[in-house]
């Protein structure tokens, strides 16, 4: 009875009445006000844009009765993180001319621009369109940027595997013309009479976002079990090559809702390559129909799978698919995650080098590495391909043998440290942007990551652990954008000055971390973890990773 009394959220009403994501956006973009209404903020997300304000000056402006410093974040869709040098240079120019000057790489292999003002949104969209890029569907209640292992794309030698992320992106991209009318073509908005949307989206799209990732068959850099749908290449003895399809993962939760939780995906079925779009379409349709549209904090597909159970969820998918699903195959045993850093040789004899980008922020530091200039120089000088990795780094691929030394020289001359020079925590540390731009952030993340890395590496060195890798992921809130819920050490913002600490996840991405301590002040994080490191040094077996040690010993 209570379920019948629940009403759809206000966002559902905004979507339904939006005329396929148009709403009043065109009119609001044309006025001189520096922000938009709350209804338009919701619709902007579908166009890859988040309305924000500079939280560093929010209090000062409020005390002075001044308007907030309104800015926007724009997220560019980059399926599988693959970019030509021309597109990279275009993104670099856009960052310089229309944003805060930096290019932000995400854990979903997308690109974000920060600090964009409202009257820069249309010029930015037009600039992207000239490069056949777009922010449309970078956010919102749709299938988000499809993630794929860089090695799968650059080094598999299999055209189907290398193109899978782009194939899926095309298959599930919304078809409304709204974005191009409002942001690119301007006055053509009233002339479109043939506009329509995919049936899997309809008038109200999905209950919330939907994430797909494609893993390499032998390594899990994409964290495939943290996705709504994950694909793992496999070979069936009867049906040949295809994928194990896993469903129901997701890491975000809410402090205000105890009925939210992190969850790992479970194997659902084996699909051949040709069946992938159809079966994923049936999964999406199941989520569309059964996802909770009355509570956005519990609207993700993982809760549908958790509430129904995998057996009942499978039956719902089969009903929409119109046939039975095959049983899944056994998951890979060798499934460690590569960070893709350093040099390696591709299957075709070319080379690639992975370059560390601290917290994914591509820029020239005043007293440090000039990463942005180095990548610009490489892109202007060589015919290579760039891959954004799920660790927020850059792989420069398709490097000819004769160009390898010159590219490394450019990197070194610009102060970019090579993989072997990186610290054991620094090498794998992730962070979300958090303050001052993200409206969800409760605490700092990106800006304090370097200090936390130094603190942890200092404690490890004190205990003769300076050569033992440690995976650190830090976020300013529990939404989990940097995936701390499956990290060896996850640091999650709880209040403005404190963090919850999770331990025991692992580099394979197949184990949730456990809550170790709550509300720890930032300056005490390393010291709080030190007793665990002492036990790891004393009791760990040879070669045992920290997360594996914590899981084995059940430390609490």
Closest CA to 430 of 519, 495, 492, 504: 492
- Among residues 22, 75, 208, 302, the one annotated as catalytic is 75
Based on the residue annotation, tell me whether 363 is a catalytic residue of this protein: no
- Among residues 139, 149, 221, 481, the one annotated as catalytic is 481
- Residue 265 · residue 225 · CB < 8 Å: yes
Report the half-sphere exposure of 356 (CA within 13 A, side-chain side): 21
* CA 85 – CA 60 distance, rounded (Å): 42
Residue corresponding to tokens 């001319």: 97
Give Cα 458 distance to the centre of its chain: 29
Residues ≥6 apart with Cβ < 8 Å to 238 = none
Based on the residue annotation, tell me whether 552 is a catalytic residue of this protein: no
Helices (H), 309-419: 310-321, 371-381, 404-413
- Among residues 15, 209, 298, 448, the one annotated as catalytic is 209
- Among residues 438, 448, 473, 483, the one annotated as catalytic is 438
Based on the residue annotation, tell me whether 209 is a catalytic residue of this protein: yes
Based on the residue annotation, tell me whether 481 is a catalytic residue of this protein: yes
Based on the residue annotation, tell me whether 75 is a catalytic residue of this protein: yes
Q: How many CB atoms lie within 10 A of CB 345?
A: 13
- Residue 197 · residue 19 · CB < 8 Å: no
- Residue 212 · residue 497 · CB < 8 Å: no
| Torsion, CA 540, CA 544, CA 549, CA 552, rounded to 10 | -100
- Among residues 22, 118, 211, 356, the one annotated as catalytic is 211
Residue corresponding to tokens 């964290």: 223
Based on the residue annotation, tell me whether 211 is a catalytic residue of this protein: yes
Closest CA to 267 of 325, 211, 307, 220: 325
Sheet holding 498-503, edge to edge: 430-431, 472-475, 489-493, 498-503, 514-521
Based on the residue annotation, tell me whether 196 is a catalytic residue of this protein: no
Helix axes of 301-308 and 276-290: crossing angle, nearest 10 degrees: 80
- Among residues 208, 468, 477, 483, the one annotated as catalytic is 477
* CA 205 – CA 15 distance, rounded (Å): 8
Sheet holding 394-399, edge to edge: 82-84, 385-388, 394-399, 351-355, 342-345
At residue 250, what are phi and psi to the nearest 5 degrees?
165, 145
- Among residues 139, 149, 221, 432, the one annotated as catalytic is 432
- Among residues 15, 45, 144, 326, the one annotated as catalytic is 144
Collapsed DSSP state (helix, strand, coil) of residue 499:
strand
At residue 348, what are phi and psi to the nearest 5 degrees?
-95, 10
Show which residues are catalytic: 75, 144, 209, 211, 432, 438, 477, 481
């Amino acid at each position: 009875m209570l379920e019948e009394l629940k009403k759809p959220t206000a966002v559902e009403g905004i979507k339904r009445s939006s005329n396929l994501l148009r709403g009043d956006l065109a009119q609001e973009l044309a006025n001189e006000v520096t922000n938009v209404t709350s209804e338009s903020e919701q619709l902007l997300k579908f166009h890859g844009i988040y309305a924000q304000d500079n939280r560093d000056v929010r209090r000062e402006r409020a005390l002075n009765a001044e308007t907030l410093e309104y800015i926007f974040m724009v997220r560019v869709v980059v399926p599988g993180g693959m970019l030509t040098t021309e597109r990279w240079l275009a993104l670099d120019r856009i960052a310089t001319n229309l944003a805060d000057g930096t290019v932000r790489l995400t854990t979903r292999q997308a690109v974000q621009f920060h600090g964009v003002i409202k009257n820069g949104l249309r010029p930015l969209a037009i600039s992207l369109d000239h490069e056949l890029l777009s922010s449309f569907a970078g956010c919102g209640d749709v299938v988000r940027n499809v993630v794929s292992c860089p090695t799968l794309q650059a080094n598999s030698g299999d055209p189907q595997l290398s193109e899978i992320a782009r194939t899926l992106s095309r298959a599930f991209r919304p078809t409304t013309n709204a974005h191009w009318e409002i942001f690119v073509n301007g006055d053509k908005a009233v002339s479109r009479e043939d506009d329509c949307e995919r049936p899997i989206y309809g008038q109200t799209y999905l209950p919330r976002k939907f994430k797909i990732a494609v893993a390499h068959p032998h390594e899990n850099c994409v964290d495939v079990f943290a996705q709504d749908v994950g694909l793992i290449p496999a070979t069936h003895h009867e049906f040949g090559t295809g994928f194990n399809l896993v469903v129901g993962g997701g890491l975000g939760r809410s402090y205000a809702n105890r009925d939210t939780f992190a969850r790992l995906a479970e194997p659902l079925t084996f699909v051949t390559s040709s069946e992938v779009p159809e079966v994923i379409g049936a999964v999406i349709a199941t989520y569309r129909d059964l996802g909770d549209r009355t509570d956005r904090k519990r609207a993700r597909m993982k809760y549908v799978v958790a509430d129904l159970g995998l057996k009942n969820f499978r039956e719902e998918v089969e009903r929409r698919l119109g046939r039975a699903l095959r049983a899944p195959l056994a998951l890979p045993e060798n499934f460690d995650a590569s960070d893709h850093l350093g040099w390696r040789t591709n299957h075709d004899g070319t080379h690639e080098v992975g370059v560390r980008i601290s917290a994914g922020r591509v820029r020239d530091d005043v007293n440090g590495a000039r990463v942005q200039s180095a990548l610009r120089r490489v892109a202007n000088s060589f015919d290579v391909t760039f891959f954004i990795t799920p660790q927020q780094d850059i792989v420069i691929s398709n490097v000819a043998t004769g160009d390898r030394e010159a590219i490394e020289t450019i990197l070194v001359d610009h102060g970019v440290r090579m993989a072997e020079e990186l610290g054991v925590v620094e090498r794998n540390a992730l962070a979300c942007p958090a303050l001052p731009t993200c409206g969800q952030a409760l605490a700092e993340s990106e800006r304090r990551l370097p200090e936390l890395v130094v603190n942890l590496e200092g404690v490890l060195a004190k205990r003769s652990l300076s050569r033992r890798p440690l995976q650190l992921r830090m976020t300013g809130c529990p939404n989990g954008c940097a995936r701390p819920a499956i990290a060896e050490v996850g640091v999650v913002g709880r209040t403005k000055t404190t963090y919850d600490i999770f331990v025991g996840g692992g580099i394979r991405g197949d184990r949730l971390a456990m809550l170790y301590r709550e509300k720890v002040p930032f300056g005490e994080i390393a010291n709080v973890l030190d007793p665990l490191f002492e036990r790891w040094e004393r009791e760990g077996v040879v070669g045992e990773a920290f997360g594996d040690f914590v899981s084995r010993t059940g430390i609490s």
